[in-house]
Amino acid sequence: MRIAIAGGGPGGLYLAALMKSLDPSHEITVWERNAPDDTFGFGVVFSDETLGSIGGADRVVHDEMERLFARWTDIDVELDGHSFTVGGQGFAAMSRKDLLRALQQRALELDVTVHYRTDAPDVDELSAAYDLVVASDGLNSQVRTRRQEAFRPTLDRRANKYIWFGTDLVFEAFQFNVLTTQWGVMQIHGYPYSDTGSTFIVEMHEDVWRRAGLDRTEDQVFPPGASDTYAVERVSEIFATELQGHQVLTNNSKWLSFQTVRNERWYDGNVVLIGDAAHTAHFSIGSGTKLAMEDALALAACLHEHPSVGQALAAYEGERKPVVESTQRAAQASLEWFENIGMYADQDPAQFVFNLITRSRRITFDNLKDRDTVFAAQMEQEFARHQGAPQVVPAMFQPGRIGELELKNRVIVSPMDMYVATDGLVGDFHLAHLGSKAMGGAGLVMTEMTCVSPEARITLGCPGLWNDDQTRAWRRITDFVHSHSTAKIGVQLGHSGRKGSTKLMWEGMDEPLETGNWEVVGPSALPYGPGCHVPREATADDLRSIVRDFVVSAERAVEAGFDLVEVHAAHGYLLSSFLSPISNQRTDAYGGSMEGRLRFPLEVFDAVRQAVPAAIPVTVRISATDWAPDGNTDEDAVQLAAAFIEHGAAAIDVSSGQVTKDEKPSFGRSYQTPFADKIRHRVAGPAGVQVIAVGAISSYDDVNTILLAGRADFCALGRPHLYDPNWTLHAAAEQDYQGDAAEWPEPWKAGRRRPPTSRTDKIPPRLSVLREGEAKDVHVRWRPARAPVGG
C-alpha cells in the first residue's frame, strides 16, 4: 500500500511504524509542519492496558518507553489545607519530547519517509495519489475541515480556562491542588513525567479567570511557540505555596478553552481520522496522545486483517468509535465536574475528595475499596459521622428521612408503568408486584403513575384513584406492605395530558387508540410527535377541574394508607408539558416565562400539599432537561426545583426528558445523576430538602458511590427491581450486611446467605494461599533519586 499521513505527532508516527513493521513493502510518507525537535506540552500519561497493547504490537517502542517511564500509584489531593492520598491507581508517564524522539527513531529505522517543516498536500490530491490517507493533524485538522460534509464534526467549546505549564518541582504522585481564592476556586492538575520535571496545568472557570485579572492578555496575539509571560507571573504568585519555590516552565503556554471534538463519521472513501482530528477528551480523564496511539493500534490491526481499505476503515470505525465515545462520556462528566467545582466548596473535605475521585462515574466505591481499603473505610466512616449514625455500614443502608417520613435505607423502587389495571382498578398483579418489592428490602416502594381521572390515563391499562373501589383496592396493597415488610409505600399522582389515550406499551408506545379513545388536553395544541394526538388547548375551566381531580385523588391516597404522595411533573405528561417551552406556547398567564409556565404545576402542587396531612410528605418528580433545542436545560431545572421547594416539596425526584419525540438523550451509567447533584448542591441541600437520583443506576456500588459523593440523598431504581424483586436484600448479602435496614422476612431468613456456586472443598497449594495473603503495595511514589518506592 501507499499510505499518506498528515501529521507527524505520536499517533501518526506510531501508525507509520506499525504498518511498516507489519509489511516493509508499504510505502509510507508522513508530513509534519513542525521541526522534529518541536513539541508542545510536557508529559504524557498511559494506562497499563494501553502499554500492554503497545508491548504486543511493537516491542522496540514499548521497551524504550518503559525505560523512560515515571511510575506511581498515588493520587494526592490538597484542599485548602487538608491533605488526602488515595493509592492503588497505577500511572506511567514520560516526557512528550522523549516519546517523539523514540517514535521518530523507530520510523527512521523502518525506512518511513518523514517531511518535517512541511505542510501536507491537499487531501483531494493525496486521496487520488495514495491508497490510504490518514489525518493525524490534530485538533484544528485541515483534512477534517476540507471534508467536513462527510465527517460532520461538532466542536464544543467549554466554559473553563486552562493553561499548560511544566515545573522543575518533581511531584511524587498525581496531584490535585484545589485552592479557594478571593476570586473563586482554582485547581492544579499535576503529575511527574521524569526525574527532573512535572506537568502543571492550571484550570478555573472563566468567571474566576476574569475576576482574577488573568484575562489581561486575552486580546494579545502571541507568535507561534511564544508563551504568556503575564500568566506565568500571576500563576507563580497565586500558587507560590504549592510550587515550593520551584520554577514554572513554559512551552507555547497560553490560556485556552477546551474543545470537545466529535465526528459522526471517521472515514470518507480512503481518508480516515485518528487522534485529536477524530476526537478529544478532557485532560482530566486521560492523555490525547494515549488515545491517538490506541487509534493507531486499532487502525493498523484492521488494515492488516481485512482485504480492502474500505472494509478495514469500516471495521476500524465500528471497533474504535464506541470505545472512544465511552471515554468521551466519562471525560464529559469529569469536565463538567471541574466546571462546577465551586458548587462543592462547602462539602466536607473527605466527601469532596471522594466526589473528585469518582467524578467521571468510571471509578466507584468498590473500585476504590479494591485499590485502597483504608481510604474506602475512611469514606464510610465520614458518611456515617455526618449522618449522625451510630454505626458504620454501607451508605445505602444508612437510614434516611423525607419530610417527617423515616425510611430504613436509601433505596427506592422507582415508579414503573405496568399497564395492567382494569378501569383504573389495581388487582392481584399489583399486589404481587409492589408487595414483592417491599418484602425485597427497599426502603420506599413507589406506585406507577396513578391517574386522577379517567381522562388522565395514558392507556386503558393505567391505574387510577378517583373512586371508592380504587381506594379500597389500593388499601389492600398498602396494608400488605405495612403488615409484611418494614418498607413504606408512596403513590405517584399524575395526568397524562397530550400523551394520553394511547395503546398499551407493547401494542404501540405513544400510538393513539383506534377505539375507545378520549379527548386529550395540553397547554397548547401541539402533539408530542408525528402520529400522536393533537391536544385541545386547556381552558381555565379545564385547569380548575384538573386541580380538583388532584385534590380528590390526594385525599383518597391518604384514605388508602399511602405514606408519601408524589406529584408527577416529568416525562412530558400534563404538568411537565406546562413546564417546557417546547410544549407550552400559551400567551396567557400560564405560558411564556418560567414564572408563567410554573403557575399551573404549582397550583396543583399547592392544592395537593394542602389536601394531605403535614405528616405525609409531598414530593415532586421533574424532568431536569428536555434533551432538545429550545427546551428546558439543567439550569432551568434548578429554578424549577427551587420553586417547588419554596412551595413545600419534601424531596425533588430528578429524572429527565420524554417531553418531545425529537429528544436526543445522552445515555450512560447514572446519566441523570449530575442533574440531581446540581439541584442538591444549588438549592435543595441548603433548604434541607432531599434529592432522589434516578436513571441507569443498576448496582449497589452505583448507589453507594452516589450517596458517598453527596450527589443525592436517595437512589430510585426501576429495572433492577424487575430483574430481581429482592434486589436490596441481595445487595445486603453481597456486602455482608445484616441489620434493620435490610431485614429478611422471617420465613425467608434461611435464604439470606448467598448459595455456593462452585466447589468449596478444593484446597489450593498452601504457598499460593500465603502469597495471595501478602499485602500489596498500595502506595507507590515517584522518587527518582531512589527509584519508585512504596509509601
| Spatial separation of the C-alpha atoms in residues 655 and 627, rounded to whole Å | 12
Q: Any residues with CB less than 8 A from the CB of 449 and at least 6 apart, and which? A: 415, 417, 458, 462, 492, 493, 494, 496, 568, 573
- Please pick, among 130, 193, 344, 573, the residue that the annotation labels catalytic: 573
**Residue that the C-alpha cell 416539596 belongs to:** 649
- CA angle 271/275/281 to nearest 5° reads 135
| Spatial separation of the C-alpha atoms in residues 189 and 203, rounded to whole Å | 8
Which three three-digit cell numbers place residue 44?
A: 504524557
671 is catalytic: no
Q: Which amino acid is at 260?
A: T
Q: Any residues with CB less than 8 A from the CB of 310 and at least 6 apart, and which? A: 270
Q: Which amino acid is at 452?
A: V
In DSSP terms, 692 is beta-bridged to 653, 714
| Spatial separation of the C-alpha atoms in residues 365 and 369, rounded to whole Å | 6
Q: Which own/partner pairs from 475-480 qualify as long-range (CB within 8 Å, at least 24 positions apart)?
A: 475/559, 475/560, 475/561, 476/431, 477/426, 477/430, 477/431, 477/434, 477/435, 478/560, 478/561, 478/562, 478/563, 479/561, 480/431, 480/435, 480/438
- The closest of 627, 631, 651 to 641, measured between CA atoms, is 651
Q: Any residues with CB less than 8 A from the CB of 759 and at least 6 apart, and which? A: none
Q: CB atoms < 10 A from the CB of 619, how many? A: 24
- The closest of 207, 203, 206, 204 to 190, measured between CA atoms, is 203
DSSP 283: T
DSSP 39: -
| Spatial separation of the C-alpha atoms in residues 578 and 143, rounded to whole Å | 46
Answer yes or no: are the C-beta atoms of 173 and 790 closer than 8 Å. Answer: no
So which residues are the catalytic ones?
573
